[in-house]
């Protein structure tokens, strides 16, 4: 599902063998008698990677938060360093103290941004619909070869054969607003409006297959 790596506190990383050896050469009279009080701004105390967790949480929208949380923490001991940092990271990813006012979601007085995760009044993991995805110029439009099939090139230049399905809105159980769906070609969660901007109609890419050089050549020849 995801990988979380947490290392122990590193402390001061300036105590290298060279510095210790230099200090051993000094006599007691030559040893420094004062220390700098300023703390560096680039100090890194822990190492952790929760990028996969963030992506996985998006796929769990609509599920009870208690179930999702139980899967995330698993059998991690409650007072362990990993559990403490995992809970802090979840607190930054998922808004828990939310209120609704005039159709907008607020957390501690601040309106949530598009794409933010939160727990609604029913205890269900929800998400603010992300902004409509505007196709960048570096990503070419999909050329449709059938009603629900097309060929597209992503921003990296890779060509794909893409299969589409009709976009079916997924309303939030609490607000009734469309939470959006994940598009495999755009690699993002989009709404029906974003689908129309990207593909010209309300459809969503559900599968894609990388094209070989021979397939790309045949496709370009068929279009020339």
What is the tens place of the pLDDT at every residue in 23-49?
667 676 776 666 666 555 544 455 567
In a domain, 108, yes or no: yes
Does 7 have pLDDT greater than 50?
A: no
Task: Please report where in the chains the tokens 């930054």 appear, as a residue.
Answer: 92
> Could you tell me what percent of the chain has a pLDDT over 90?
18
Determine the structural domain holding residue 64 and report its residue range: 51-127
Are 96 and 153 within one domain? no
pLDDT in tens, 151-196: 988 877 889 999 999 999 888 777 778 888 888 888 888 888 888 8
Q: Where among 80, 103, 127 does a domain terminate?
A: 127
- Average pLDDT of span 107-114: 86
3-state helix, strand, coil in the chain (%, to 5): 25, 25, 50
Q: What is the pLDDT of residue 194?
A: 85
What is the C-alpha end-to-end distance of the chain, expressed in Å? 44
Inter-CA distances, 37 with 16, 29, 152, 201, Å = 20, 22, 57, 61
Q: For residue 113, what are its two tokens?
A: 């941004």
The answer as to whether 44 is a domain residue is no
């Amino acid at each position: 599902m995801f990988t979380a790596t947490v290392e122990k506190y590193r402390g001061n990383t300036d105590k290298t063998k060279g510095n210790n050896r230099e200090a051993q050469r000094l006599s007691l009279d030559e040893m420094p008698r004062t220390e700098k009080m300023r703390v560096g701004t680039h100090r890194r105390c822990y190492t952790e990677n929760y990028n996969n967790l963030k992506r996985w949480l998006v796929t769990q929208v609509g599920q009870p938060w208690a179930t999702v949380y139980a899967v995330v923490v698993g059998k991690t001991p409650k007072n362990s360093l990993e559990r403490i940092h995992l809970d802090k990271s979840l607190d930054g990813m998922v808004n828990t103290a939310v209120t609704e006012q005039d159709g907008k979601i607020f957390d501690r007085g601040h309106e949530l941004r598009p794409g933010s995760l939160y727990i609604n009044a029913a205890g269900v993991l929800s998400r603010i619909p992300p902004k409509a995805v505007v196709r960048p110029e570096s990503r070419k439009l999909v050329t449709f070869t059938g009603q629900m099939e097309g060929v597209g090139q992503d921003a990296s230049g890779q060509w794909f054969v893409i299969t589409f399905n009709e976009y079916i809105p997924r309303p939030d159980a609490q607000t009734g607003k469309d939470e959006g769906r994940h598009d495999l070609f755009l690699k993002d969660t989009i709404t029906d409006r974003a689908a129309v901007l990207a593909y010209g109609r309300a459809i969503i890419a559900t599968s894609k297959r990388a094209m070989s050089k021979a397939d790309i050549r045949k496709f370009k020849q068929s279009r020339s």
